[in-house]
Structures are given as C-alpha cells and as structure tokens.
Amino acid sequence: MRKVFVNFPITSAFYLSADDSRHIITVLRKRQGDSIAVTDAAGVTYDCRIREADSQRALLEPLEKTGQKDGSSGRVILAAGLLKNDKFEWVVQKAAELGASMIVPVQMEHCVVKLNDTRRRDRRLRWQRIAQEAAKQCGRDDIPEVADVLSFPELLKAYGTMPFIIPFEKETRPLRDCCAAVQTGDVVICIGPEGGFAREEIERAVTELASCQTVSLGPRILRAETAAVAALAIIMYERGFR
C-alpha cells in the first residue's frame, strides 16, 4: 500500500507539498475523488479523499483514522558498519521494510568505506530519503530515522544502556537463545562491515556494555548485508513485527 507522510498533525483538509502532489497525481495516477493513506507527524494514518487533483498542490480531506504508530513495545535499532557501493542503501531499505525504528551507520575499524564530514552529511540525507520511500512503499505508520554516522566507541556511548545483540562469526551460541529476552523493550542489533568486527571492538562491547550478547547466525559465513537483514528479520519476527 502506497502512502504519503506529512510533517504536521492532520485535523482537517490540507494541501500536500508540490513533490507529494506531483507523485500521487502523475506517478500513482490518482484523481479527484480517489483515496490515499496519509500518515501525520504523530504517526496517525488516515484514509484521505482527494478533493482537488492538482499536480502542484493537491487538496486532501481526512475521512477516517486507519492506523497509529505503536511505540509500546520499544525500539529496534539496527547499527551497521558502513558498506561499499550501494550495499548500505539496500540495508537501509530492507531495515525500513522490516520495521526497524532507527538505522545507525557505524564507521568501524575494518570498514572499507571511509567518509569525511561532507560525505557523511550527504550520505545520511540520501539514506533518509531511501528509508522514507521504503516506509511509503510498505505502508508503515512511521519513518525510521537514519542517524548520523558514529564511530564504534561513539555507538557504545550513545546506546550502551540498551541491550546489544552482536552477530559474530567466531561465536557458537545461536541467536535463538537470546530472542526471548528482547521480545519487548529497546534493543540494538549491531552488525559488522565486510571485513567483520575487529577483535578489540568485540572485547570493548562485552566489557563496557551492561547487556551485550554475541551470537551466531549459523555455520555459514554471511555477507554483511545478509547478516543485517537476517538478524533483524529474526528479532522482528519474535516481537511480532512490532
């Protein structure tokens, strides 16, 4: 189900931005009298009727509330090492589709990609647009936030009060052993880059974090992007995709 997001609460008839108006009229081919789902700044989704089908400034009227963001089960945060080419974009897209609350790009020791401040800002804006488009495509009631790029120590400092699950190729304990403990509440799933975690990063996480579990995703060596989606999908399944 395609939908539109607006950055204000919906209380009465409203105009869409020029970009969103053009999208629903010229791309989705909606016409006057048609309906479309719109989610507002509070995470409330409405079925809205198009009163004026203008590709520059479409007017919509809310008919009924059809959904609302459920934040009661806590946040699932995917922290992933930077990947080369378009692999990280793919991870952002799939994380948004699976229901991650936030994606945190992490500059780790074995990352092939090295971003300066300007490239970090530009990439973050692009990743956020990808997350928003994926949220529209899959019918979410919210848009996952793509955070600023952090170093691994900055990640631990910023989110270290939350439980961490770290898939690690040298671990033998299966992920299923810790699923029950993270069915509700906040949790960080931390995935390494193409080169894997540095041993020092794992040791630092286990030593400094109050709740950190290293786990195995099975006997095969997975690509970083595959590991990210596999781990997130398993955890989201255990939480009922909430």
Q: Model pTM?
A: 0.89
DSSP lists the bridge partners of residue 103 as 78, 146
Q: Helices 152-159 and 199-208 meet at what angle, rounded to 10? A: 20
Residue 2: the pLDDT is: 80
Residue 73: the pLDDT is: 83
Assign a CATH topology to domain 76-238. Answer: Alpha/beta knot (3.40.1280)
Write the CA distances from 63 to 35, 133, 183, 184, 218, integer angstroms: 9, 24, 35, 33, 48
Residue 86: the pLDDT is: 95
Radius of gyration of the chain (CA): 20
The reply to whether CATH 3.40.50.150 applies to domain 3-68 is no
Residue 242: the pLDDT is: 84
Q: Provide the token pair at 194.
A: 């193409």
Residue 15: the pLDDT is: 96
Residue 1: the pLDDT is: 60
- The domain segmentation of the chain, as residue ranges, is 3-68, 76-238
Residue 3: the pLDDT is: 86
* Average pLDDT per 10 consecutive residues for the chain, totaling 242 residues: 89 95 93 95 93 93 90 90 96 98 97 93 96 91 95 97 96 93 95 96 96 96 97 96 86
